[in-house]
């Protein structure tokens, strides 16, 4: 809704809900990555990083196999959005991402959105290899990555939403 208002986009409620539903599967391809690499507490080796970077392709392959067996057009459409998110959520705005090194608007819109949300979630969540970052530090990182990792306008929209949400929480806590 925020994106529609700020950029005169016409994203249907149905499409937005499909993206929300599909985003849950964004890392399904990690099922093809050895746990010892996924949960390694220290820095990954070059080889281990290359293995991790295959997970979008593993995920797309899983969804392609499921999709191939379907005869339901609505479910197939939802799965197409899921495949787009799964395969392209690690592409970067400047073309330095993976697995295909897509750049700018060559990256499917839904993958651009999920990429920002995924990075924010990763930064603000505790992991085996790092502590959770405070919200403002994560926001600063996203703002720093505008035009490099992420679509600049989408970062502004996302950061605005996070800050408004944070203000509402603060007001509720002080009332």
Catalytic amino acids? 30
71 phi, psi to nearest 5 deg? -120, 10
Distance linking the first and last C-alpha atoms of the chain:
28
Q: Are 59 and 86 in contact (CB under 8 A)?
A: yes
Residue 18: CB atoms within 10 A of its CB come to: 20
* Tokens matching residue 147: 């035009």
Q: Are 135 and 124 in contact (CB under 8 A)?
A: yes
């Amino acid at each position: 809704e925020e994106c529609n208002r700020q950029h005169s986009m016409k994203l249907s409620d149905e499409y937005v809900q499909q993206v929300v539903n599909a985003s849950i599967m964004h890392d399904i391809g990690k099922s093809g990555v050895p746990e010892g690499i996924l949960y390694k507490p220290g820095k990954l080796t070059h080889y281990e990083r290359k293995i991790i970077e295959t997970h979008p392709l593993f995920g797309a392959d899983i969804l392609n196999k499921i999709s191939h067996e379907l005869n339901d057009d609505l479910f197939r459409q939802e799965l197409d959005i899921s495949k787009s998110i799964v395969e392209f959520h690690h592409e970067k705005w400047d073309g330095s991402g993976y697995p295909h090194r897509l750049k700018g608007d060559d990256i499917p819109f839904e993958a651009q959105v999920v990429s920002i949300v995924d990075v924010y979630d990763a930064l603000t969540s505790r992991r085996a290899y790092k502590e959770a970052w405070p919200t403002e530090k994560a926001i600063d990182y996203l703002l720093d990555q505008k035009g490099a990792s992420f679509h600049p306008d989408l970062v502004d929209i996302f950061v605005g939403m996070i800050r408004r949400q944070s203000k509402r929480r603060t007001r509720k806590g002080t009332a």
